[in-house]
Amino acid sequence: MNSSGHRLARRLTSERAVAIALIVPSAVAVAVFVYGFIAWSAVVSVSEWDTVRPDYTYVGLDNFRDLFNNFRFQIDIRNTVVFTVLFVGACLGIGFALASLLDRHVRGEGLFRSIYLFPMAVSFIVTGVVWRWLLAPRAGVNILPEKVGAGSIDYGWYTDPTVLYVHADTRLGEALHSVGLGFLANPNYGVPLAITSVVIAATWQMSGFVMVMYLAGLRAIPDELRDAARVDGASEAQILRHISVPLLRPVTLSAMIILGHQSLKIFDLVISMTRRGPGFATDVPGLFMYETTFQGNHFSHGAAVSILMLLAVSVLVIPYLFWSLRREARL
Amino acid sequence: MTLPWSRVAIYTVLVLFALVYLMPIYVLLVTGLKSFQEVRLEQMWDLPSALRFDSFREAYNSLDSNLANSFKMVVPATIASCMLGSINGYILTKWRFPGSDLIFFLLLFGMFIPYQSILIPLVKTLQQLHVYGSLWGLVITHVIYGIPITTLIFRNYYANIPTELVEAAKIDGASIFKIYTKIIFPLSLPGFVVVAIWQFTSIWNDFLFAVTVTSNPGIQPATVALNNMAGSFIVEWNVQMAGALIAALPTLIVYIVLGRFFVRGLMAGALRG
Amino acid sequence: MSRHARWLIVLVALFAAMFVAIACGDDDDEDKTPSGGLSGKLEIFSWWTTGGEAAGLQKLYELYPNQCGGTVNIVNSTVAGGGGAQARQVLTTRMLGNDPPGSFQVHMGHELIDSWVTTNYMEPLDSLFKEQGWNDVFPKGVLDIVSYQGKPYAVPVNIHRANVLWYNKAVFTANGLQPPKTLDDFFKVADALKAKGITPLALGDVDSFASIQLMETVLLGKLGATAYNGLWTGATDWKAANVTDALNAFKKTLDYVNSDHSSLSWDQANDLVISGKAAMTIMGDWLEGDMKAKNFTNYGWLPSPGTEGVYDALSDTFGLPKNAPNKAAVLCWLKVVGSKAGQEAFNPLKGSICARTDCNPSLFDAYLQSAMTDWKANTIVPSLAHGAAVKPGWLTEISDAVTAFVANKDAATLQNRLAAACKTAGVCK
């Protein structure tokens, strides 16, 4: 008995070696293609590589310094922040609204769900092509009111170069200045109107996903909990506020991370829909990286942009990965 | 029985949203089905006076080889992704070893990185491997960068297969391969479907890898061709719309037929523990 | 078990569909093995996808078997969009990935030299030029621009002019106006047109080259050829008062363009001229092909305001990349491109004049004949927007500055950025 136990243990040890061997190809592939390549890009980002021909001469952080002084990159940072806030906010709001409506024993729920979710199956390129025409100034949504007899809308959508910001010569601008925040009165801390067009298209594509997540979250809340509250005389709004919303906090967090990291990486939608936009109003780091690398041949700058994008994503995702893996381990 | 007004309100909101979500599809369809005389922008919303498939024919003619490229790339990439993901998921749930959690964590992070940050080395490396500019280069790329998500989905799926089953088989002397073929694989079919759909959709829809790895127009997949077509402004917009619908069709069909599995892939992608 | 059976069916069906797709999708990739002569594939990469450009390219392809013999299968690789910007992105990744096409379209000047020649991606063509006697048939100025350290690296196929003002004759007659020759005239005419609700100047700068090109023609009109050339060599100070004036004129010009310019392409802007909604547009002479394609004949042309006697030139060229597949076939392609027959077949369709000086004028239309006359008589300057005047990195910075300016109209900032870009490029101190 004892010796057979040993044999089993020995056999399992060798089987475990086989197990490790089986995972080695994937582990090596990811080690090289993800971590190795990131390191390689990092090397390029501190190099002098500025033509099509590689040049790995070390130049320190010069490229990063150039970037932060580059007005286009400054606009890109502004756009990314504005886009992320609007896009995540819109998706969470619409997704939650649709989920809580669908959760109320709606007939045809499956059909509604499928309709809200189908844009997820479509590529960002297709979304971009379609919405570019839907929001074209002389077409699409602007002429829709004509069909019901109203006048057409005169709005430029993604061609509108307006940036909303606090002007330095207004009362608010002066107030900011007096408290040492005068630098905020600058278009670089404004909201470019054109980017809302991209937000609309992206929200059309992604809000269904948030809806599905919330719906699953709502279904996971025991009915008894809400029934009990109803018996106690709570209104639907109160139930939503005091039971559903707090219990859905993990879902909200997950959705925010997923959407947030997507908006940091956004590229396909912008390249097919608006490209840089008027005065870079819809420019994003992903597009800047692509153009500066493969059009301007500034490979080192392109690599520096990509490393900054990676850092931004990491700050968001790594704590989340720890959090969700720990949560999973507890379950 | 009369409907309370709150029910009416709920349905009104739901229907309105549904109309907004379907609006692009409506425009795609009516535009694609119009004759060239009717495609003026002012008539964007009007129904076609007669059904004409000219736009679709023209879009298809300029996209057909790219659609073939997409299929040629997606199929092997999806199959390879499924196999790798299944094996990784199996090992990481049923043959855990010291450090396997760390490996899983490191794999997972690969799912979130902006691919811009590996683009330049990728081009150089694929060139060294002599697969740059070929569909095989793109297949390899998709399989490797698909490892994290496919591993995650299979791992979550296999976590629900009772470990006792596997432990018992181990004690009975079954080998690692035998356990896989006799116990795990037969139970894996839904997992395979979920992963296959997920990979099919995301590889079909990919643009960044396609445009950098297969920059030769002759072998570019449909997304890149569509973007070039739409970017050129020379192609009539009704043809662009028809092209967009054609390029979206395979994934839309998968979604309509197998939507349930699609949603499961989505939820797995959302890391729902 | 029945549940699993259902899944199995789904899975098998899915994979079966995929395999069918593979099987059907497989192209026949048969290699032809002819007896002697040139054979195999020859990939020609360009951004000529439509209209006269595509037709002209097709003519060159048709000439190929006549001049070269053999059974070469020409693969027409095109990437549309962005005045070639998208094609250049694709080309960069291909060259980086060591997957060069047989030959590719590239603008003469810095785009050719700084992107591909100094970086050692191209073969010199001095023996081909000597063998074909091209050193005598191409103008000296053009030979200089395609050469590096005394050796030519590309064969120019055409010459385009960037500084042309195109206008709708009917609009001018109906309003009793004369097309403007100077910038002052232009602003007067533009005010009159604006008062009548007509867009004076159509612009479509969804691709940023259009607004850069507009700026370049205004700079040229204000500064004159010598000072304009000095901008690219450091001889003209970017911060000087005359540059300030010129940029302010550019700013004023933008007051007269259509409000939706950032969503239109140059040819969509031309639609405004054709329909009479706009009176004029400033665009290179490839625009004439668009007029013809749209069956519009009532158009006139002038050098853009203030640039009479100056020819703002760009040229498309083809070269031989190192490691190009099927090198012998590529060399013969270059012979076709540089030949008299090739240029006479290509250029009337493309709407450009020959880079060679010995083409027969009677093959060309009225505009092109006038251009051929101007080409010989005028001062030639290199185009900024089309890669002739500056290297790609510098052009990118100028492009960024102009893109921002067109939206915020801040001329002082534009001037500072342009001055800084010249410094970054290592030309200004």
Q: How far is CA A135 from CA A140, A142, A190, A198, B174, in A?
A: 6, 7, 22, 10, 62
CATH 1.10.3720.10 fits A71-129+192-330, yes or no: yes
Contact check, Cβ <8 Å, C96/A50: no
Mean pLDDT throughout A68-79? 96
pLDDT confidence of residue C141: 87
Mark out the alpha helices in chain A (DSSP H runs): 2-30, 37-45, 62-69, 71-102, 109-117, 124-134, 144-147, 171-178, 195-220, 223-231, 236-239, 245-247, 249-265, 268-273, 285-294, 299-330
pLDDT confidence of residue C28: 39
Mean pLDDT throughout B131-137? 92
ipTM: 0.93
pLDDT digits (tens, 9 = 90+) for B27-66: 999 988 888 777 777 788 988 888 888 889 989 998 999 9
Q: Which CATH superfamily is domain B62-269 in?
A: MetI-like (1.10.3720.10)
For residue A51, the chain C residues in CB contact (below 8 A) are 114-115, 118-119
Residue in chain B closest to C91 (alpha carbons) equals: B215
Percent of chain C with pLDDT over 70: 91
Domains, chain C, ordered by start:
41-160+314-376 (3.40.190.10), 162-313+384-424 (3.40.190.10)
Residues in chain C predicted with pLDDT less than 70, given as ranges, are 1-36, 81-82
pLDDT digits (tens, 9 = 90+) for A264-321: 999 999 999 998 999 999 999 999 999 999 888 899 999 999 999 999 999 999 999 9
pLDDT confidence of residue C22: 47
Please give the full DSSP string across A39-71, using - where no structure is assigned. Answer: HHHHHHHTB---SSS----B-TTHHHHHHHH-H
pLDDT confidence of residue C13: 62
Structure token digits, residue B115: 């691919």
Give residues with Cβ within 8 angstroms of A281, minimum separation 6.
A79, A158, A160, A161, A163, A192, A193, A194, A195, C407
* Mutation site for C-interface testing, chosen from A52, A53, A133, A154 by largest number of C Cβ within 10 Å: A52
pLDDT digits (tens, 9 = 90+) for A225-236: 888 998 888 888
Strand-pair category, C199-202 with C278-282: parallel
User: Domain map of chain A by residue range?
Assistant: 71-129+192-330
pLDDT tops 50 at residue A199: yes
For residue A301, the chain C residues in CB contact (below 8 A) are none
**Which of A146-150, A326-330, C228-232 has the highest average model confidence (pLDDT)?**
C228-232
pLDDT digits (tens, 9 = 90+) for B150-173: 999 999 899 989 989 999 998 888
- Calculate how close chain A gets to B85, using CA atoms only, in Å: 9
User: Domain map of chain B by residue range?
Assistant: 1-52, 62-269
Whether the CB of C118 is below 8 Å from some CB of chain A: the reply is yes
Whether the CB of B174 is below 8 Å from some CB of chain A: the reply is no
* Mutation site for B-interface testing, chosen from A122, A218, A310 by largest number of B Cβ within 10 Å: A122
Q: How far apart are CA C299 and CA C170, in angstroms?
A: 8
pLDDT confidence of residue C20: 52
pLDDT digits (tens, 9 = 90+) for C34-49: 445 889 999 999 998 8
pLDDT digits (tens, 9 = 90+) for B235-252: 678 888 899 999 999 999
